[in-house]
Amino acid sequence: MKYTYFVTATGAGTGLTSVCLGLVRALEQLGVRVAFCKPIAQQFDKEQGPERSTHLVNVTLGLHPEKPIKLAHAQQQLALGQADRLMEEVIQLSQASGEDADILIVEGLVPVADENYIAELNRNMAKALDADVILVSAKNSDSTAQLNERIKMTASLFGGIHHRKVVGCILNKVGAPAPASQQVIAEEDPEELGTAKHHSAEEFAAILPIFQKDDFKCIGAVQWNPLLVAPRTADVAEHLGARIINEGQMSERRVQSITVCARTMPNMLHTLKAGTLVVTPGDRDDILLAACMAALNGVPLAGVILTGGLQPIPQVMDLCHSAFLTGLPVLTSEHNTFRSAQLLNSMNTEVPANDIQRMESVMNAVAGSINAKWLAERAQVIEERRLSPPAFRHLLVKRARKAAKRIILPEGSEPRTIRAAAICHEKGIAHCVLLGNPDEIRRIAQTLDIILPDSIEIIDPAIAVPKYIDAMVELRKHKGLSAPMAEAQLEDPIVLGTMMLALNDVDGLVAGAIHTTANTVRPALQLIKTRPNTKLVSSVFFMLLPDQAVVYGDCAINPDPNAEELADIAIQSGDSARAFGIEPRIAMISYSTGISGTGSDVEKVREATRIAQKLRPDLLIDGPMQYDAASTPSVAASKAPDSLVAGRATVFVFPDLNTGNTTYKAVQRSANVISIGPMLQGLRKPVNDLSRGALVEDIVYTIALTAIQADQMSDQ
């Protein structure tokens, strides 16, 4: 551990844990080896089980900080005058947590009213760890002047804003709505940071007097996003103590808005949108039936809460049965409608310890708003030492934005694809073209509450097909393709999209969310064809292991390549790794290492290694090699001590599809590893296949991969 940042809050409700974890994510995206520690546990309200911050950093970032000291123990040590002994424990925990890291992020304690010892503990921990201090603040119910004073007062606990160890503040929840009780009068505070404004860190530095000095920096300004505080319906059920009538997808659906229905049904229909939680008296069968109709029409409501302890009669429940099968959660609360609404309004907005998906979104939002590069430069660890999974994903997005390519999505009416396209446009990853009926695509988007940017292009296949008939006949005339046959084949949206790519109307294609790999690859082989000097089309997966991103090939296309083909796969995979920022050290995987084994299978790998080394002496290629010898330094030291690849491999080339596919799935599922791919190699233009179980995030990153491939191919 080389450098320590102690991060603490200026008050309650600042989102300290979210900012700390987002800061870790931001530093990881720079390739910095970063660790986390929460030396003293602090649990609130009804929190049970493991300490929240330590648990979340474990399951989201794969870090393993030491178990924190209980707050009761820390209080007891202070009462006994054993503060020095307590700090020794804090130092021991911190050093153990950050032993191999360049930067350690230490989360302090949240100040609590009438408990002055919290401030003392924070001050003592920062001093004992010789840490730079970063404050986290949120405006909440304060005026701008009060926010400025709160930051200043908290900084004074650590020596003030001019102290060399007090480096700056991260502002969270910028633009959040004011509490209902707060009445803001603009004339009294002309520079008030209102809810309608979006301020950057630079703008805050100009507005708040405390940031006018060069030695106290506004390190980040995290904008308020209501989606990041949206609880799951299951969280609502627990908060209300509600009884479950139909569980549905209550663990996946999120409450983005609440509608309390006391009006007649026609006057509340406009509120039935994706993410809406419907709260209504239990005897309002008409409201329940309307919600069920919305669900049957594809609107993913967050759920229905029937209040007053009332439940519909069995006949009504029978009518709702088909809607329940769509995943619509239905709950009943013993409280009346008014009290239920009050309780919902008072829900804690902090991320529960078991809501990993939401914490991932929060961390990414925070990471994108923090000047982590400045912090890394201050710690003098800015050089990139490895391509960690967050660094790899960050690199994908960055390079895709720069490429600015046009990617066709033939499965244009598939809901995950529509949402991925919207995200890509929002983040500037690619210009997506949705292939499908425009009215149907817009209806699905509206049903799912997806905002389609104006920049997204929608092409109707019925209108586009005639343009490509003659061109397809020309491409396939050696196969005797006639115009009527071409027209029939172009009715397949993947064939149509592939023709658009073949004629340079788009730069890349992504499909497979609802089609097989064969459906995606076959048109590409027929119409796009392989690149010059390439023997075959192969594939790689980018496996995001806990410590770094590595490449697996070929795990999806070629069942049993011969030695020449396997050498080609190795070269393609090495080039793909290098193209995506991974320094290629290629291990040719087999059941034996070096010259220890014999047999036709290992001889094939040995010959493939020889061919690949001869064709590409610029690449580090070694084999045959067992997987453990390729991946584990201690094993490599005994099995292949002279190898430049063993123990350090970043590209793993498997001898056949059976071995490759089995290994990638075993690693992915057993180790809970994210895999991106398969990415196809060897085609003249980029076509990439999706798993039919792909998540929206998988589609987004595959689009990014495709855009980068298109950019690289255009330069060749």
Cα-trace Rg, the chain: 29
Percent helix, percent strand, percent coil in the chain, to nearest 5: 45, 15, 40
Give the class (CATH, top level) of 538-682: alpha beta
Which tokens hold the place of 126?
């920062």
Residue 133 neighbours by CB under 8 Å, 6+ apart? 5, 6, 7, 8, 126, 155, 158, 165, 166, 167
Nearest to 555 by CA among 689, 656, 669: 656
Task: Break the chain into its structural domains and give their ranges.
Answer: 3-227+353-378, 232-345, 393-527, 538-682
Q: Which H, E and C letters describe 428-489, residue by residue?
A: CCCEEEEECCHHHHHHHHHHCCCCCCCCCEEECHHHHHHHHHHHHHHHCHHHCCCHHHHHHH
One CATH from 1.10.287.130, 3.20.20.70, 3.40.1390.20, 3.40.50.970 for 232-345: 3.40.1390.20
Cα–Cα distances (Å) from 542 to 175, 318, 576, 588, 646, in that order, read 38, 48, 10, 17, 19
Q: How many CB atoms are closer than 10 A to CB 460?
A: 15
Say which CATH superfamily domain 3-227+353-378 falls into: P-loop containing nucleotide triphosphate hydrolases (3.40.50.300)
Query: 84 is written with which tokens?
Result: 């020095």
Buried-exposed string 275-295: b where 16+ CB fall within 10 A, e elsewhere: bbbbbbbbebbebbbbbbebb
What's the residue count for the chain?
A: 716
∠ CA 692-254-676, nearest 5°, is 30
Neighbours of 537 (CB within 10 A): 22
Q: Please choose, from the candidates 127, 113, 114, 137, the residue with its C-alpha nearest in 3D space to the C-alpha of residue 157.
A: 127
Of 705, 689, 698, 701, the closest CA to residue 507 belongs to 705
Looking at residue 113, its pLDDT comes to: 72
Residue 183 burial by Cβ neighbours in a 10 Å radius (0-12, 13-18, 19+): exposed
Query: Rounded to the nearest 5 degrees, what angle is found at the Cα of 92, between the Cα atoms of 90 and 95?
Result: 105
Query: For residue 367, which phi and psi values (nearest 5 degrees)?
Result: -60, -35
Question: How is residue 213 annotated by DSSP?
Answer: S
Tell me how far apart the alpha carbons of residues 617 and 118 are, in angstroms, rounded to a whole number: 61
* Per-residue buried b or exposed e for 195-213, using 16+ beta carbons within 10 Å of the residue's own CB: eeeebebeebbebbebbee
Specify the pLDDT at position 190. Answer: 35
- Check if 3-227+353-378 and 538-682 are the same fold: yes
Pairing of strands 3-9, 103-107: parallel
Comparing CA positions, the residue from 226, 316, 322 lying closest to residue 275 is 226
Q: Is residue 624 reached through a cis peptide bond, with omega within 30 degrees of 0 on the bond before it?
A: yes
Say if pTM beats, i.e. exceeds, 0.75: no
CA-based nearest residue to 19, from 47, 43, 65, 53 = 53
State how far Cα 74 lies from the chain centre.
36
Contact 268, 243 (CB under 8 A): no
Whole-number Å distance between alpha carbons of 697 and 702: 9
Which DSSP letter does residue 583 get?
Answer: P
Q: What is the pLDDT of residue 386?
A: 58
**Dihedral in degrees, nearest 10, Cα atoms 172, 176, 180, 185:** 100
**pLDDT averaged per 10 residues in sequence order, the chain, 716 residues:** 88 90 90 91 68 86 89 88 87 88 93 82 91 91 86 92 92 75 34 48 70 83 85 92 93 90 83 91 91 91 93 90 94 92 83 84 88 89 61 84 95 94 93 95 90 92 93 88 91 95 95 89 89 85 85 91 94 91 92 81 93 93 93 90 91 94 88 82 91 85 93 75
Mention every residue, 6+ apart, whose C-beta is less than 8 A from residue 76: none
**How many CB atoms within 10 Å of residue 641?**
9
CA atoms within 13 A on the CB side of 168: 24
Among residues 688, 668, 259, the alpha carbon closest in space to that of 510 is found at 688
Tell which CATH architecture fits domain 393-527: 3-Layer(aba) Sandwich (3.40)
Q: Round to whole Å and give the CA distance between 167 and 219.
A: 9
Q: Tell me which amino acid residue 584 is.
A: P
Residues 393-398: contacts with CB under 8 Å, at least 24 apart: 393/29, 393/544, 393/701, 394/29, 395/580, 395/581, 396/580, 396/676, 396/701, 396/704, 396/705, 396/708, 397/427, 397/429, 397/704
What's the pLDDT at 549? 87
